[in-house]
Chain A
Amino acid sequence: DAKTTQPPSMDCAEGRAANLPCNHSTISGNEYVYWYRQIHSQGPQYIIHGLKNNETNEMASLIITEDRKSSTLILPHATLRDTAVYYCIVRYLTGGFKTIFGAGTRLFVKA
């Protein structure tokens, strides 16, 4: 079973920041937090991952709470093309490497 909990859907205005929360209260010390997204009828696309420090790349920022029980993916300036299902996943970096998807959050970016 997935180890994360996400809201089923969210709306965001185009050009505004989209903040997608994820709860992973049972995360273990060696598990990373990964975010993927899936645009309709396509394969999932990697966005970002982190262990305990905040991370930023060209797509998004990942904020992980100090106790690591939750995180937030931030899309700083959402566009219509960011409309997708966003999946938060916890996974070991090596060893038991298996990506189990939960229900995800369906993000609607509106003009």
Chain B
Amino acid sequence: GAVVSQHPSWVICKSGTSVKIECRSLDFQATTMFWYRQFPKQSLMLMATSNEGSKATYEQGVEKDKFLINHASLTLSTLTVTSAHPEDSSFYICSARDTGTGVDEQFFGPGTRLTVL
């Protein structure tokens, strides 16, 4: 299947700083990417859907000014956690939708573990 990468795989930051997480589709173009958050022993929660060249659509309860999403190219979406606080510590997972010829599937990245001190 197609490959989605995330960078960094883990990050530790101080409270009040901003952190950027990158999500890349390595061998396909993704007009749509998704960002999820997962707390320990819980399921994945969809945060937002990003479409290349347009504003992201956020799920109810997700602060768009705190979780900035940019999908500037067909292979890259970024999630910036602004003014991070300890409660933002979580596992962030992105996925990309591959709509290539004969395919319409969603592939997931390996995740980024964010720890805010």
**Would you give 29 A-B contacts (Cβ < 8 Å), ordered by A?**
A36-B108, A38-B44, A41-B91, A41-B111, A41-B113, A42-B110, A43-B6, A43-B93, A43-B95, A43-B108, A43-B109, A43-B111, A44-B44, A44-B95, A44-B108, A46-B1, A46-B106, A46-B107, A87-B43, A93-B104, A97-B106, A98-B34, A98-B46, A99-B34, A99-B46, A99-B106, A101-B43, A102-B43, A104-B43
Give the interface SS of chain A, mostly helix, strand, loop or mixed: loop
Q: Is the CB of A94 within 8 A of B43?
A: no
With contacts defined as CB atoms under 8 Å apart, how many contacts are there between chain A and chain B in the complex?
Answer: 49
B44 to A101, Cβ gap below 8 A?
A: yes
Q: Is A45 an interface residue (CB 8 A)?
A: yes
A13 interfacial by beta-carbon distance below 8 Å: no
Which residues on A sit within 8 Å (CB–CB) of B46?
Answer: 98-101
Residue count of chain B within 8 Å CB distance of chain A: 24
A97 pairs with B97, CB closer than 8 A: yes
A10 CB–B CB distance under 8 Å: no
* Chain B residues within CB distance 8 Å of chain A: 1, 4, 6, 32, 34, 36, 43-46, 49, 91, 93, 95, 97, 104-111, 113
Which chain A residues border B32 with CB–CB below 8 Å? 97
